[in-house]
Structure formats: structure tokens, C-alpha cells
Amino acid sequence: MEGITAETMRLLAAGIAMGLGAIGPGIGIGILGSGAMQALGRNPEARGPIMTNMILAIAMAEAVAIYALVVSVVLIFVA
Amino acid sequence: MSRKGCLGCSLPVLVIIIVIVLAVGVISLLSGALGKALVGDVGLPELFTVDPPHVQLPAEVIVHDAIGGFDITNTLIASWITIVLLAGFAWAVTHRIRVIPSRLQGLLESALEWLLNLCNDVAGEKYGRRIFPVITTIFLFVIMNSWLSLIPGFGSVTYATVEHGEAHVVPLLRGANTDINFTLALAIISFVFVEYLGISQGGGLRYFAKFINVRRFGQALGQLVRGKVKSGLGGLFMGGVDMFVGMLEGISEMIRVVSFTFRLFGNMLGGEILILMMLFLMPWLLAVPFYGLELLVGAIQALIFGGLTLVFATMAVMTHEEHEETH
């Protein structure tokens, strides 16, 4: 057994990158959904614009989690 | 025949369906990695074994140096198939176009009308029709690319090569969105289109005045020269803030290329890896909900790419007409 090697740290870094990187977007998407639900509850007729804008904003928040995913995948498979 | 009963089928049909699903589930559990961990190797025939997944990040090259040093990758072939399908569909619908549409023509008409309404809603009547072709192209191309990669045969039709002395199995087709070259190209196209629209509408240098905002700074310098020191210094400070904010806007404009690229690439690659891992864990049953997720994600990412390009293009032309009523 060699102890902690560079390979070990790479895998650990990949896990930490994705794990920590998913906290922010997860909370952000939850806040967006909550705002959309409240708006929908107040004004059910405005369903179209509310849903469209919610999907757009959720994809923007999710993109940050995807950046973390790309870093993690690069760490495992390329670096 | 009575259509009532459990879930709309008669009881014998329902029992047959449940038996088939259970059989598929048991076989997939036994032949996947989950089954091997839980139950051990049962010794299923060669047909049901699953190789450990091998994730390949860069797109695999099929033909080296095809045209003057330019490699042909499997994602390129997949995007050619998309182009042929889209163009073929459009030609088949429009080469005998009628006032009362046939069903295929009605399908294309409803899709294009939905996109045109989206463009008009966001960009207003004046610019919606102008921005429409680029947005539709981006949307249809991305969505067709991502949905085509879910058809069985994509990624499964492989051929074996020997590369660097070891045997490789290379898939012949791979979804084009998983190639970072493709998403980067699309992001650059979108960026150039937005800048071109801003410049052609705002008139050349006036568009860049948004990023290099020296107006207030210059005014303040003028005031200082004429002797009004106090307002001159205040204006100098505000002018400095304006220049800094303009520089930040310019940087964020260019970061959009990176953000577009990695959003589409990461989503599509992540989906591909997810399905690969699910197929490895429990081959037949577990991948089905994730195929559904991939359908949804592909459509949403196409909408995001097209919709964000639309929003940025709108912002690029709206700043030139200050506070004009559009909605």
C-alpha cells in the first residue's frame, strides 16, 4: 500500500468539486421554484409567462452546477 | 369488449404485462453490476453481460486526415445526419406547399409558429421577425441533435480498432452535443450574431459606447478645464465608476461564450455518462426513466440556448432605443 497518492487526491477532489458545487444551485433552484409557486397561486391565469421564465431562470442556475460537473469529470478522466 | 378493468386493460393482459416487466427486471438485475454485488455471478449467457463503462471525453476520430489534416469524428457524422434529416423534412414539407396544410406541413407550421410567437413576445414586433431565423436554427439543430442520440443504434453500432497497441471499441455515431467543439462553435455563432445585430442597429461605434463609457469622464474633464472644480471632481469620480462598469459589462458579454459552451456540453455529456452508468448498474430497467429525463433535458437545453440568444439579442438592440415601448 502506498498511502495517499496523487491518484487518491484526484478522485477526492472530483468528489468534493461536484458535492460542494451542487449546494448553491440546489438552493437557488428551490428558491426559484418557491417564487414561481407563490406567483402561480396568486395569479393562475399568468401560467404561461411564469412557467417560461421559471424554466429559463432554473436553467441559468443549473448551469453553475454543470460547471462543477465538468470540472469533476475532467479531473477523473482527463487530468 | 369492456374496456374497464385495471388500468384500462383486461385482467389477462395486465397479468401478462406484469410478468414480462418482472422478468425483464430480474434479468437486468442479475446481469448488471448491482446484481453481481448482491447475488454474485449467476452465469448468464454471453448476451446479457455488460462491460464496465468506458467514458471517453473527446470525440473519437473515425477517419484521420480526411481533408487536409481535418479529422472526421463520430460526432461530426451524427451532426451531418441531423442536417440531412432537418433539411429533408423541410424540403418534403415545402416542395408541394398548400393553403390547406397536410399533416406534416401542419406539424412544421405549428412548431415554427410557436417559435415565432416566442421571438415576438420577447423581442417585440419590430425585431422578432428579424431574429427569428437564427433562433429557430439554433433551437431545431440542438433539439434534433440531442433527441437523435437517444435512438437505439447511436453509440451501439461500433467497430473495433487497434490504437497505440491496444484494442479499442469505437462507436460509429455519437450525439453531436457531447462534443465541445460543436457547442463552442454554436456559442461563437450566437455571440457574433448578437454583436452584429447590436452594431447594425445602433450604428457602429455607438454600440461600443456601452462598454467604453467615457462620456461622463470626458464631460467632467471639460468642466474641470472650465474652472468648475467641485462638480468636475464629482463628475470625474462618477465617470470613473461608469468606465469600470462598462468594462465589467464587456467582460460579462464575452463570458457568455464560455457559459453557453459549458452549459450545453455539460448537460449533454452528463446525461450520456448518466445513462452509461445506469446501463452498467441494471441494464434494461433502470435506464428507462433516465431516457425520459434525457428527452426532457435535451428539449430544455435547446430552449435555453435559443431563448438566451434571443434575450441577449433583444438587450443588444433595446439599449440603443432608450425606453421605447415594445410590450
CATH code (residue A40): 1.20.20.10
pLDDT at B17: 87
Q: Which residues of B touch A60 (CB under 8 A)?
A: 304, 308
Dihedral sign from CA coordinates of B32, B36, B37, B39: positive
B209 assigned to some structural domain: yes
pLDDT at B12: 83
A70 assigned to some structural domain: yes
Same-domain status, B89 and B182: yes
B299 assigned to some structural domain: yes
Nearest-Cα residue of chain A relative to residue B56: A77
A19 assigned to some structural domain: no
Nearest-CB residue to A69 (from B57, B270, B308):
B270
Matching residue, cell 462638480: B231
Domain count within chain A? 1
Q: Which residues of B touch A59 (CB under 8 A)?
A: 263, 300-301, 303-304
B53 assigned to some structural domain: no
Nearest-CB residue to B263 (from A56, A63, A78):
A63
The range of the structural domain enclosing residue A44 comes to: 25-77
Same-domain status, B20 and B66: no
The range of the structural domain enclosing residue B36 comes to: 6-48
B325 assigned to some structural domain: no
- From first to last of its 327 residues, chain B has per-residue pLDDT tens of 555 666 666 788 888 888 998 988 888 888 877 777 777 777 777 677 777 777 777 777 777 777 777 888 888 889 999 999 999 998 988 888 888 888 888 888 999 999 999 899 888 888 889 899 999 999 999 999 999 999 887 877 777 766 666 667 788 888 889 999 999 999 999 999 999 998 888 777 777 777 877 777 787 788 787 777 777 788 888 888 888 888 888 888 888 899 999 999 999 998 988 888 888 888 888 888 999 999 999 999 999 999 999 988 988 887 655 534 444
Whether B238 and B216 have beta carbons less than 8 Å apart is answered as: yes
Q: What is the ipTM of this complex?
A: 0.78
| Contact call for A55 and B265, based on CB within 8 A | no
Q: Which residues of A touch B265 (CB under 8 A)?
A: 70
pTM (predicted TM-score): 0.84
Residue A61 has pLDDT above 70, yes or no: yes
Q: Which residues of A touch B259 (CB under 8 A)?
A: 63
Same-domain status, B33 and B89: no
Same-domain status, B140 and B207: yes
Same-domain status, B26 and B117: no
* B84 contact partners, CB below 8 Å, separation of at least 6: none
B255 assigned to some structural domain: yes
| Contact call for A56 and B307, based on CB within 8 A | yes
Same-domain status, B24 and B153: no
- Judge whether B234 is closer than 8 Å to chain A, CB to CB: no
A12 assigned to some structural domain: no
Q: Which residues of B touch A66 (CB under 8 A)?
A: 262-263, 266-267, 270
B120 assigned to some structural domain: yes
Nearest-CA distance A1 → chain B (Å): 25
A20 assigned to some structural domain: no
Instruction: Provide the grid cell at A64.
Output: 453553475
Instruction: Give the CA distances from residue B45 to residues A6, B41, B49, in Å, rounded to whole numbers and listed in that order.
Output: 39, 11, 7
pLDDT at B123: 87
Same-domain status, B39 and B85: no
B314 assigned to some structural domain: yes
Domain count within chain B? 2
Nearest-Cα residue of chain B relative to residue A58: B304
Compute the distance between CA of residue B95 and CA of residue B107 in angstroms, rounded to an integer: 15
Same-domain status, B22 and B120: no
B327 assigned to some structural domain: no
Nearest-CB residue to B266 (from A55, A56, A66):
A66
A1 assigned to some structural domain: no
Same-domain status, B29 and B168: no
A65 assigned to some structural domain: yes
pLDDT at B325: 42
A6 assigned to some structural domain: no
b/e map B178-194, b = 16+ CB within 10 Å: bbbebbbebbeebbebb
Matching residue, cell 410478468: B19
A3 assigned to some structural domain: no
Q: What is the per-residue pLDDT across A38-49, written as a single tens digit (0 to 9) for each?
A: 999 999 998 888
